[in-house]
Structure 1
Amino acid sequence: MKNTLIESFVFLFERELDKLEAEIKQYPDEASVWKLEGDIKNPGGNLCLHLCGNLQQYIGEQLGHSGYQRNRPLEFSARDVSRAQLLNEIQKTKLVVSATLRKLDDESIRQMYPEEVLGYPMTTVFFLTHLLAHLGYHLGQINYHRRLIGR
């Protein structure tokens, strides 16, 4: 068990990003990461880019002033990014998220988040919880996509 909120968030984000990395590695080949089938409009590769962009923006840039410039439309329109590039992006995201969170403390994350991303004011701890739920939601979609494509 982690002793502080910060330690808990670092542990949970790293754990989920490790799962994202494992999912991308388990696709049978490079092309399958990008394969569309049926009503699925966002393959694993796009969801991976979206998750990395989301976390680098809302944790790395907003809380850590990393200088990250997000291109959200590209997260969903890019195709055929290599698996190596996706894995590199996951690692960059994991490093910036962990480093940024470790610069904060339990008191600072109880303060208001600097942007009303969801359309209303919220504390940073509330938004970090939201970001974890968002990560888990899309991680489940990637897992489903990978299994559907690999059948």
Structure 2
Amino acid sequence: MLNKTLTALFVRDLEALKKEIDLYSNEKSLWLVPEGISNSAGNLCLHLVGNLNHFIGATIGNTGYVRQRHLEFSQKDIPRAELIKQIDDTIQVVTLALETLSESDMQKAYAHQVFNEPMTTEYFLVHLTMHLAYHLGQINYHRRLLDV
């Protein structure tokens, strides 16, 4: 079933996110935003955690998570250990939520209209894997450019 494949991909990339955050030799570099760069790695990490906890945890898993998207981009200097804990918690949330989905659930309309048009849960979950991969690549590039 697709939910098992998606779970494997989310877990793989969230584990890669933890590795990227851990690979910063200087923890302060996680929060650098030099001219020409929109977001720090730390804020992108918070964004990914918030995004998945909202769109998968709260919406599919009924976790009660309340997203504060503005904080994903405004909070600074959160310790690396806390970021990694948040990623670990997100892995659990995503895994538990996705295992509840049937093939029929995947073909139903996703609960929120995110792109101003209806879409299936399957479509949106595939989008979320791509969103995670996109920002993971940005974090990798940020680390290789700015971790001094």
- SS at the partner of 1:137? helix
Please show how residues 1-151 of structure 1 align to structure 2 within 5 Å: 4-150=1-147
TM-score computed with the length of structure 2 as normaliser:
0.97
Which runs of 5 or more residues in structure 2 are unaligned? Answer: none
Whole-Å Cα distance in 2 between the matches of residues 29 and 104 of structure 1? 40
- 1:58 is displaced (CA, Å) by 0.2
Which runs of 5 or more residues in structure 1 are unaligned? Answer: none
C-alpha offsets along residues 81-113 of structure 1, whole Å, 9 cap, x if unaligned? 000110011011110000000111222111110
Whole-Å Cα distance in 1 between the matches of residues 145 and 139 of structure 2? 10
Whole-Å Cα distance in 1 between the matches of residues 49 and 115 of structure 2? 18
Moved more, 31-40 or 92-101: 31-40
Whole-Å Cα distance in 2 between the matches of residues 150 and 83 of structure 1? 14
Q: CA RMSD in A?
A: 0.9
- Number of paired residues? 148
Whole-Å Cα distance in 2 between the matches of residues 135 and 119 of structure 1? 21
User: Which amino acid in the other structure matches residue 32 of structure 1?
Assistant: S
- After TM superposition, the runs of 4+ consecutive aligned structure 1 residues lying more than 2 A away are none
Whole-Å Cα distance in 2 between the matches of residues 6 and 75 of structure 1? 27
- SS at the partner of 2:103? coil
User: Which amino acid in the other structure matches residue 20 of structure 2?
Assistant: E
- SS at the partner of 1:107? helix
TM-score computed with the length of structure 1 as normaliser:
0.95
Moved more, 43-52 or 21-30: 21-30
Whole-Å Cα distance in 2 between the matches of residues 97 and 36 of structure 1? 29
User: Which amino acid in the other structure matches residue 128 of structure 1?
Assistant: L
- 1:35 is displaced (CA, Å) by 1.2
- 1:150 is displaced (CA, Å) by 2.5
Contact 2:49 2:87 in 1 (8 A): yes
- 1:29 is displaced (CA, Å) by 1.9
Whole-Å Cα distance in 1 between the matches of residues 111 and 131 of structure 2? 19
